[in-house]
Amino acid sequence: MKCRTRNIPVGFTGTLDDMIYYTRRPNGRVYARRRFTLKDHPSHKPFANATRGIYALNPSREYRQNLADYMIGYNRLEANEAKPAQCWNNLYNKLMFAMQRQMGIPLATLTRQMITDLNLPCRSVKNAVEAGLLPMVKSYERFGAEM
């Protein structure tokens, strides 16, 4: 749940009565959310293992920068206007889980060696866009940095 209000002072961030208040820099709005509580769910453990696996790949600085630059074009797309990506991690997760759905590759056991041997589309942002894992944006061809 997100609440927007006009009466909270600008720059107010923190917690109060099980609510978290924060300001988003791009639009300057103050948001209030309920404090997150983790509920045990059967799909939590496989998801956590997959997330650990993809971040253990430790993508290169250039690859992360390509995702950050791609995010600007991604957020300009009309389909993503209501829910823009906040940082490169959002797109990295989207890319990797789309690859898992499309190709059936288990993310928990994915290694750099598997990526190069199988020539997986997650090697670069350009390859991911061409494979349909990420939507096409203007000038996506320039995002060719390897993972």
Mean pLDDT of 82-95: 91
Domain boundaries, the chain: 8-34, 44-142
Q: Does residue 66 carry a pLDDT above 90?
A: yes
Q: Does residue 1 carry a pLDDT above 70?
A: no
pLDDT tens digits for range 99-122 = 999 999 899 999 999 999 999 999
Q: Does residue 8 carry a pLDDT above 60?
A: no
Measure the CA–CA gap between 81 and 57, rounded to whole angstroms.
Answer: 30
Mean pLDDT of 71-78: 92
Mean pLDDT of 24-52: 81
Of 82 and 50, the structure prediction assigns the larger pLDDT to 50
Helices (H), the chain: 44-56, 61-76, 88-103, 112-117, 125-130
The pair phi, psi for residue 144, each rounded to 5°, is -105, 10
What was the pLDDT predicted at 49?
Answer: 92
Predicted TM-score (pTM) of this structure: 0.75
